[in-house]
Amino acid sequence: MDQGNFASEPFKFMSGHWLSLRVARTPAASHGAIRFHIEGSEDTTHWTEVFSGFVSSDEEVEVPLDAQAGPWRRVRIDAIGGGGSVIVRGFRDSHDS
């Protein structure tokens, strides 16, 4: 990812699931925290922010998904100031039945 913003492809949200976000930078990229936004939509055309936060390079943050803002989600990342990648994975809370 170069400087600028990035938005993931929309994905179906599932109640009781979590997102795990990890940022990995190229060696030449600047250091510091990356701002991320989790957005929700009813139909994938209009997006509403439901959560935002920061994740540092080579660290991981886990975010619960809830029923706000419709059945679709996407992750948006603000400019990261250099090359890098964002890894997003979903998983179910082990305490849910």
Specify the pLDDT at position 18.
Answer: 82
The H or E element spanning position 66 is none
Q: Could you read off the pLDDT of 30-39 as tens digits, one per residue?
A: 566 778 888 9
Classify burial at 86, counting beta carbons within 10 Å of its beta carbon; exposed 0-12, middle 13-18, buried 19 or more: middle
Architecture of the 6-92 domain = Sandwich (2.60)
Q: Could you read off the pLDDT of 50-78 as tens digits, one per residue?
A: 889 888 777 788 888 776 668 888 888 87
